[in-house]
Structure 1
């Protein structure tokens, strides 16, 4: 009886792990909210965000295409996210940085969280992403709880303007 129960439990754990590992991140994602540590340079705080495009690659890796404004110019950047043995954990920039993707239960949204070194300093950042641009109050509340658990302050959360295409800022 114990062996049967153990087999059933291990089978369930394996099925849940497999389901989590096979999460489909591919497609278009909209940045709903962003939070950064207070020491994050102002130039890294984008006031507008274009959708993020994610392409699934062989072996579970992902290619993420982001477009942002830098020095009043639209810049497109592709980032390779390398799958690790831990579900939801990826390596980027040749393994130098870690990025975590965590689903917010029941919301259809994900939090992408990373620790980042910039000019010798450690910075933290999290983004709430969803499959459409509509506001989801429940997902935003879950995001607030998640990031407060990581040490962020609620007043540091901001909602960037959604743009279909990158638009340089006017001065």
Structure 2
């Protein structure tokens, strides 16, 4: 009887350790960058990968194309993200004003159109090549992952990294998009 109890105790502990590993993996994706260097994050990025739980995103993902985003400092210490994208065969530009939060690489954004607030966090970055961003609604059900690239061409390893990141965040394969490049609206150099 004692050995059966030891076996069950061992199995329960093993199960808990396994669960902790899963939780740790999910939590690792949320680790904030204590050494985030905002000035190195500035400049042009391309939206190379996207995933979202939004119904709007699911409806539009087939018609999405890569957009370019210029990250610049704002007067309040936050960031201005100015994105240029193709919509109905026209180039449109949209600017998001991100407010700094208490954590490095983490910003809040309030949508002027909907009034909703989201938390945008840079969870991994190689300032010369790519950045992984995680966006979660604070007062609404919204979750988005973004892969920024410094170039329009993306290495296969980065696609795999982004897909893995998205799946850890709970996104399914059908919610992950790698928007195709377009000649319109994108400029490699300013």
TM-score, structure 2 length as denominator?
0.64
Seen in structure 2, the aligned counterparts of structure 1 residues 125 and 22 have a Cα distance that, compared at 3 Å, is closer
Seen in structure 2, the aligned counterparts of structure 1 residues 140 and 41 have a Cα distance that, compared at 3 Å, is closer
CA deviations on 1:21-49 (whole Å, 9 max, x unpaired) are: 44521111011111122634545535112
Which residue is equivalent to 2:168? 149
Aligned counterpart for 1:48 among listed residues 35, 51, 65 = 65
Tell me by how many angstroms 1:20 deviates.
1.9
Aligned counterpart for 1:93 among listed residues 99, 102, 110 = 110
The answer as to whether partners of 2:121 and 2:133 remain within 8 angstroms in 1 is: yes
The answer as to whether partners of 2:41 and 2:127 remain within 8 angstroms in 1 is: no
Matched, 1:39 2:55: yes
The answer as to whether partners of 1:27 and 1:54 remain within 8 angstroms in 2 is: yes
- Aligned equivalents of 2:74 and 2:54: distance in 1? 35
Seen in structure 2, the aligned counterparts of structure 1 residues 107 and 26 have a Cα distance that, compared at 3 Å, is closer
Number of residue equivalences: 149
Does 86-95 or 138-147 show the bigger shift? 86-95
Q: Does the residue aligned with 1:74 lie in a helix, a strand or coil?
A: strand
CA deviations on 1:66-113 (whole Å, 9 max, x unpaired) are: 123445543311111111111121011278221111225698311122
Matched, 1:74 2:95: no
Output the aligned Cα RMSD.
3.1
The answer as to whether partners of 1:51 and 1:163 remain within 8 angstroms in 2 is: no
Structure 1's unaligned 5+ residue stretches are: 1-15
Tell me by how many angstroms 1:121 deviates.
6.1
Aligned ranges for residues 1-12 of structure 1 at < 5 Å? none
Which residue is equivalent to 1:12? none
Q: Which has the higher helix share?
A: 2
**Greater gyration radius:** 2
Q: Does the residue aligned with 1:126 lie in a helix, a strand or coil?
A: strand
Aligned counterpart for 1:111 among listed residues 132, 135, 138 = 132
TM-score, structure 1 length as denominator?
0.71
Structure 2's unaligned 5+ residue stretches are: 1-32
Seen in structure 2, the aligned counterparts of structure 1 residues 146 and 70 have a Cα distance that, compared at 3 Å, is same
